[in-house]
Amino acid sequence: MADEALAPGLVVASFGRHLLVESPDGQRRICHPRGKKSQAVVGDRVAWRPSHDEGTIEKVEPRRNLFYRQDEIRTKMFAANLDQVLVFIAAEPEFSEHQLARALIAAEAERIPALIALNKSDLVEPFERAWGRLHPYQQMGYGVLPLSLRLSKDVDRAHLLSHLQGKTTLVLGPSGAGKSTLINLLAPGAAAQTGEISRALNSGKHTTTSTTWYWVDEARTTGLIDSPGFQEFGLHHLEPTQLAPLMRDLKPHIGQCRFYNCTHRHEPGCAVIGAVAHAEKQGEHRITTNRYKIYCDLFDELSEPPRW
């Protein structure tokens, strides 16, 4: 009988122990987790119990996936039940390929498809340089979308929607890339909705540090999740030996090394090192020197003993 009093809902915003839950009819209310620690994140389907004008989350439904990062001290859970991750970067300021790689590895670890969007195509020379840096990712099979949100909003909106329609997409990107412009372009009511969430959570300007779900369409079939935290993207939830299988350019060479437990760092007969040495030869599974350096840097980072 107890479960009959529970209502279904979707977590659409979070800030600390405050969660905003949307009912199937579109109504939203503040809910709090039962107990001291909140296990629910944006994108979770939950069962909650009404209590006056708020509610209590009693159960988090099983997830299809959970996208998160982890540094040496804490875990940051971005969102759950995603259909894809959109990494939004720009020709200027110059994006960090290390951060891009980290986000893509985290997506691969959860088997979430990833898409890359490169903004500011109107800046011709910087865009050409940035587009060239992304060529290896295109070879790996990642979709890379050229955009100019400043000059061709309508065209770019239609282009993006063709990739987002009917899906739940987490948008990640560094400051300065134009992510806020992107969100407001795709979800015209986003700014007003952010204000409503801020008032509801009574958290003022701090709401900008929280993760938020926006509906793109009135039918509520296409969802965008905006989340901060791209600058510091730790992968400490992964073991060093898990990295290579999660990097699309390294993965095809795994199993071809002389030693079964090859770390792809220094061993003789390593197929990955061999592929890097012959990277100048155009091939289907080439590994650039820069990508291999990213692998080595991450391997070393994850191999360090904990500092606590």
Q: Which fold has domain 2-60?
A: OB fold (Dihydrolipoamide Acetyltransferase, E2P) (2.40.50)
Strand partners, 28: 22
Q: Which of 84, 122, 130, 91 is nearest to 106 (CA)?
A: 84
On whether the CB atoms of residues 276 and 286 are closer than 8 A, the answer is no
| Six token digits for residue 39 | 């296990």
- Residue 100 binned pLDDT confidence (cut-offs 50, 70, 90): very high
Q: Which three-class secondary structure state does DSSP give residue 21? A: strand
Separation between Cα atoms, residue 37 and residue 20, nearest integer Å: 16
Calpha distance 50→18 (Å, rounded)? 15
Domain boundaries, the chain: 2-60, 66-226, 240-303
pTM for the whole structure: 0.90
pLDDT score, position 190 = 76
Say whether pLDDT at 38 is over 70.
Answer: no
Between residues 126 and 15, the one the model is more confident about: 126
80 Cβ neighbours under 8 A, 6+ residues apart:
41, 42, 43, 44, 63, 64, 65, 66, 67
> Residues of 189-216 as b/e, b for ≥16 C-beta within 10 angstroms?
ebeebbeebbebbebeeebeebbbbbbb
Note the pLDDT tens digit of each residue in 174-188. Answer: 988 889 889 989 988
Cross-strand pairs, 235: 70
In tens, the pLDDT along 213-247 reads 999 998 999 999 998 877 778 899 999 999 999 99
**Token pair listed for 9:** 């809902």
Specify binding-site residues for Zn(2+): 257, 262, 264, 270
> Which CATH code is given to the segment(s) 240-303?
1.10.40
Question: E-strand spans in the chain?
Answer: 7-15, 18-22, 28-33, 45-51, 54-60, 66-70, 75-80, 84-90, 114-119, 143-146, 168-172, 211-215, 223-226
State yes or no: pLDDT of 260 exceeds 80.
yes
Of the candidates 43, 59, 8, 7, the one whose C-alpha atom is nearest the C-alpha of residue 215 is 43
Tally the residues of the chain. Answer: 308
Interval 37-65 mean pLDDT: 90
Binding-site annotation: residue ranges for GTP = 119-122, 173-181
The confidence score (pLDDT) of residue 261 equals: 92
What's the CA gap between 48 and 38, in Å, rounded? 13
pLDDT at 206 (0 to 100): 42
Second-level CATH architecture of 66-226: 3-Layer(aba) Sandwich (3.40)
Nearest-angstrom CA–CA distance, 142 and 248? 9
Nearest C-alpha neighbor of 129 from the set 139, 137, 121, 141: 121
Give the Cα-Cα-Cα angle 138, 126, 298 (nearest 5 degrees).
55
Mean pLDDT (whole number) for 155-171: 93
Poorest-pLDDT segment among 29-38, 131-140, 259-268, 284-293: 29-38
Rounded to the nearest 5 degrees, what angle is found at the Cα of 198, between the Cα atoms of 192 and 202?
Answer: 150
Average pLDDT on 272-279 reads 88
Condensed to tens digits (0 to 9), the pLDDT of residues 184-213 reads 899 887 766 666 666 666 554 444 457 899
Annotation: binding site: 119-122, 173-181, 257, 262, 264, 270
